[in-house]
């Protein structure tokens, strides 16, 4: 029996190097500026005297280290006069990648694990470019060289290069470091976007970069920039700061996360320069560290085009820090520092909490634009009905894990399904998770998937295997597709097995619609069109393994009347032994307005988006995956068409140049019953089909983990093929109604 060490494939290591900071040079600069700023912060908190005006310098110049580099090879050097580092500290910080070097919660450094400089140096060193640090600490000079070999293994060299007093004096003069300080230099990697235009606009781009908004606007910090030996100019983001006279609203709210109350303050501002400065909502903590720049899914909402903001989340740094230090080691903020990890439970709860608040403010504060609702046209309304019927039939549902934590630890039995039993609706396709313990089942072992009666339940695939890259936190998660062809009299057994291990799940096929809710409860569908001046009911599905029977669920809304504001469900609501469904009855609302309906249990939330429509022009009152089709004037956007993830409308941009070429100026369309020539109808049908196909492929393949991301080109080809296949089918469904 052989034994050998498992190593990462070269393609995975190359991908890891690239994904750490991506291809945006501003992220590289931000990491180094943040490190210097952190160092000054620690000095202030520790009461250390600093007589150097807390300066940071950024120098951009031609790289001269290797003559093989072309004329456009540049390097960046960042210099500070802060703490400095000894050789021992350099060795401690850079010898273990991802170690806790940020100083801990009590120091409150911006970098959660302080690995930003390592990522910058690794990216440069992989191409044999400059990757070095020179640091002066207490009259000693230390140097670090970062190296990456052809197999993508990293190494460092450190040494004391103090020399005599003259050498130290020359170094101080060369780098303008009168006391302690650090010099970090890196050659800009070839896979980072760095055109002459980017280089020319670097000063302005740094100033308006959202993640540097507060760092460059501190009264006790001076940051300077120089390109190709020009005189240093001071950087400032003051002109991009939110002005008090532009404040539209301020809203305090809180939510529960893991039994703790999270306090938040949201401020929204009018911003006529949003297209230029790319400021969405800056998510910060008490120390003005920027964690994300996001509109929480509303970035393409027409009413958000001139609105930016600030979201202060109390003690966000310590929350992120503690989660990375926990046994589960979950990242609330992505490792590459580009914002929240949207798959994390924290983000999901935050998003569900803030979405109805944002929707309400955007509805009341946002600027309207010319909008034509295509479903006012009878044929487009019928097309919408056809589309939603097709999507409902094709959209896979998920059989979620039972309980809060199941599936997050490697199964001690080697292999386990998400549940031991489940019910599925006849004719509907479901995705079922299978969890594998890679320490018990090797990646080269095939797992057979069998069904006791394949005539009743179709399963795919019949065999599963995984690659080492799929191991995440000592567990592998795979998806199996199930479709019930006919109702069952007794459960059918599905088995996953190897020679040594096996797991079973018992499946019932029923006529009743059943949905397995995320996080305990979920409105399904979550987007609906409701007829004005009528009473309607929405279905709230509840997983009783997470929310026990006879629990108290609160129903709230930002403008709708709710018949049952408090619901307590029991056995009569059960669809099977675990999933219950409750009808929530609502009425009211103003024509054309979108509302949020939220169910709340402890720290769990589920929100449905409700749009009020006219009865005579709506033959689809039940809503669906797509709420409707709109034409909007969007000069601030490049898209031809866009699926809005919050309202579920497919939006066609009347200001897109391609759309204008085919459809002409659309400002004179009759908003009550827009009409088009046959060739224009085909074109609109094509736009809608593309967006609907993208939605279907995302839901069925990408979000369910059924697309392998190892090879980017393969992913693009596969996704494009899937979209085209679905688009062909959807186009036929739509055009049959529109013609």
Angle at 186 between CA 185 and CA 191, to 5 degrees: 165
| Percent of the chain surpassing pLDDT 70 | 87
Q: Strand 527-531 to strand 604-613: parallel, antiparallel, or no bridges (unpaired)?
A: parallel
pLDDT score of 422 more than 50:
yes
For residue 119, how far is the Cα from the chain centroid? 21
Give the mean pLDDT of the chain. Answer: 85
Give the model confidence (pLDDT) of 240-252 as tens digits.
Answer: 999 999 999 999 9
- The answer to whether the beta carbons of residues 694 and 673 sit under 8 Å apart is no
> In the prediction, which pLDDT does 65 show?
59
| Identical fold between 397-510 and 515-624 | yes
> In the prediction, which pLDDT does 59 show?
96
pLDDT score of 682 more than 70:
yes
Strand partners, 431: 398, 481
> In the prediction, which pLDDT does 66 show?
56
CATH number of 397-510: 2.60.40.1080
- The architecture (CATH level 2) of 244-365 comes to 2-Layer Sandwich (3.30)
Where exactly are the structural domains of the chain?
10-239, 244-365, 397-510, 515-624, 626-739
> In the prediction, which pLDDT does 250 show?
95
pLDDT-derived band of residue 408, with 50, 70 and 90 as boundaries? low
Among the residue ranges 39-48, 57-66, 275-284, 332-341, the one predicted with the least confidence is 332-341
CATH number of 10-239: 3.30.565.10
> In the prediction, which pLDDT does 114 show?
53
Q: What is the DSSP string of 481-537?
A: EEEESS--SS-EEEEEE-SS-EEEEEEEEESS-----GGGEEESSSEEEEETT--EE
| Spatial distance between the Cα atoms of 147 and 132, rounded to a whole number of angstroms | 9
Q: Is the pTM of this model over 0.85?
A: no
pLDDT-derived band of residue 711, with 50, 70 and 90 as boundaries? low
pLDDT-derived band of residue 4, with 50, 70 and 90 as boundaries? very low
| Percent of the chain surpassing pLDDT 90 | 46
> In the prediction, which pLDDT does 36 show?
92
pLDDT-derived band of residue 70, with 50, 70 and 90 as boundaries? low
Most confident of 41-45, 226-230, 593-597, 622-626: 226-230
Among the residue ranges 66-80, 102-116, 150-164, 566-580, the one predicted with the least confidence is 102-116
pLDDT score of 109 more than 70:
no
CATH number of 515-624: 2.60.40.3450
> In the prediction, which pLDDT does 336 show?
65
- The answer to whether the beta carbons of residues 363 and 48 sit under 8 Å apart is no
Residue 47 or residue 202, greater confidence: 202
pLDDT score of 643 more than 90:
yes
- The answer to whether the beta carbons of residues 518 and 544 sit under 8 Å apart is no
> In the prediction, which pLDDT does 540 show?
95
635 phi/psi in degrees, rounded to 5: -65, -25
Contact residues for 88 (Cβ-Cβ < 8 A; gap 6+): none
Residue 469 or residue 204, greater confidence: 204
> In the prediction, which pLDDT does 1 show?
42
pLDDT score of 2 more than 50:
no
Among the residue ranges 343-347, 637-641, 707-711, 735-739, the one predicted with the least confidence is 707-711
pLDDT score of 670 more than 80:
no
For residue 533, how far is the Cα from the chain centroid? 38
pLDDT-derived band of residue 502, with 50, 70 and 90 as boundaries? very high
> In the prediction, which pLDDT does 621 show?
47
């Amino acid at each position: 029996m052989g034994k050998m060490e498992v190593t990462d494939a070269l393609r995975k290591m190359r991908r890891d190097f690239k994904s750490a900071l991506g291809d945006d040079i501003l992220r590289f600069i931000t990491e180094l500026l943040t490190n210097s700023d952190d160092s000054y912060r620690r000095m202030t908190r520790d009461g250390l005297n600093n007589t150097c005006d807390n300066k940071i310098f950024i120098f951009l110049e031609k790289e001269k280290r290797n003559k093989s580099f072309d004329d456009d090879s540049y390097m960046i050097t960042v210099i500070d006069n802060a703490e400095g580092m000894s050789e021992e500290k350099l060795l401690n910080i850079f010898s273990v990648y991802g170690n806790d070097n940020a100083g801990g919660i009590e120091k409150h450094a911006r970098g959660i694990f302080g690995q930003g400089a390592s990522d910058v140096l690794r990216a440069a060193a992989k191409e044999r470019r400059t990757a070095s640090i020179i640091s002066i600490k207490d009259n000693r000079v230390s140097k670090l060289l970062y190296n990456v070999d052809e197999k993508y293994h990293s190494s460092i060299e450190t040494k004391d290069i103090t020399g005599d007093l003259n050498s130290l004096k020359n170094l101080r003069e060369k780098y303008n470091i009168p006391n302690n300080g650090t010099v970090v230099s890196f050659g800009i990697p070839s896979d980072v976007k760095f055109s002459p235009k980017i280089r020319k606009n670097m000063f302005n781009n740094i100033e308006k970069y959202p993640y540097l908004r507060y760092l460059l606007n501190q009264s006790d910090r001076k940051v300077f920039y120089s390109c190709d030996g020009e005189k240093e100019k001071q950087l400032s983001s003051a002109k991009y700061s939110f002005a008090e006279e532009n404040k539209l609203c301020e809203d305090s709210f809180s939510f529960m996360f893991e039994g703790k109350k999270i306090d938040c303050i949201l401020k929204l501002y009018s911003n006529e320069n949003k297209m230029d400065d790319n400021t969405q909502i800056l998510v910060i903590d008490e120390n003005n560290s920027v964690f994300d720049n996001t509109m929480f899914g509303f970035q393409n909402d027409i009413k958000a085009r001139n609105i930016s903001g600030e979201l202060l989340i109390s003690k966000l740094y310590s929350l992120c820090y503690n989660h990375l230090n926990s046994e589960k080691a979950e990242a609330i903020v992505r490792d590459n520092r580009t914002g929240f990890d949207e798959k994390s439970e924290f983000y999901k709860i935050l998003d569900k909490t803030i979405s109805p608040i944002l929707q309400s403010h955007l509805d009341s504060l946002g600027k309207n634009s010319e909008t034509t609702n295509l479903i006012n046209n009878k044929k487009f309304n019928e097309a919408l009905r056809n589309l939603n019927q097709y999507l409902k039939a094709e959209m896979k549902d998920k059989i979620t894990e039972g309980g809060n934590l199941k599936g997050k630890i490697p199964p001690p039995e080697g292999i386990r399904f998400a549940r031991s039993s489940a019910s599925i609706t006849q004719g509907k396709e479901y995705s079922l998770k299978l969890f594998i313990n890679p320490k018990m089942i090797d990646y080269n072992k095939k797992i057979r998937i069998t069904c006791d009666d394949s005539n009743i339940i179709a399963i795919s695939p019949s065999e599963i295997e995984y690659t080492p890259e799929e191991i995440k936190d000592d567990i592998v998660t795979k998806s199996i597709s199930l479709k019930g062809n006919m109702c069952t009299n007794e459960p059918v057994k599905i088995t996953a097995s190897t020679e040594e291990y096996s797991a079973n799940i018992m499946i019932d096929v029923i006529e009743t619609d059943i949905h397995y809710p995320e996080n305990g409860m979920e409105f399904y569908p979550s987007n609906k069109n409701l007829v004005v001046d009528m009473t309607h009911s929405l279905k709230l599905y509840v997983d009783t393994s997470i929310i026990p029977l006879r629990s108290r669920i609160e129903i709230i809304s930002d403008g709708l009347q709710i018949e049952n504001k408090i619901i307590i469900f029991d056995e009569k609501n059960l669809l099977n032994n675990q999933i219950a469904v409750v009808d929530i009855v609502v009425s009211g609302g103003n024509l054309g307005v979108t509302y949020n309906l939220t169910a709340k249990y402890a720290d769990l939330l589920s929100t449905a988006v409700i749009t009020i429509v006219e009865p005579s022009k709506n033959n689809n009152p039940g809503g669906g995956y797509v709420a409707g089709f709109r034409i909007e004037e969007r000069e601030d956007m490049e898209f031809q068409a866009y699926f809005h993830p919050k309202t579920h409308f497919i939006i066609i941009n009347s200001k897109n140049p391609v759309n204008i070429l085919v459809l002409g100026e659309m400002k004179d369309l009759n908003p009550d019953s827009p009409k088009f020539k046959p060739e224009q109808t085909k074109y609109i049908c094509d736009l809608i089909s593309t967006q609907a196909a993208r939605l279907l492929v995302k839901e069925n393949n990408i979000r369910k983990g059924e697309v392998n991301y190892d090879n980017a080109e393969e992913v693009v080809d596969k996704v494009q093929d899937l979209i085209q296949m679905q688009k062909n089918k959807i186009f036929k469904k739509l055009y049959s109604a529109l013609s």
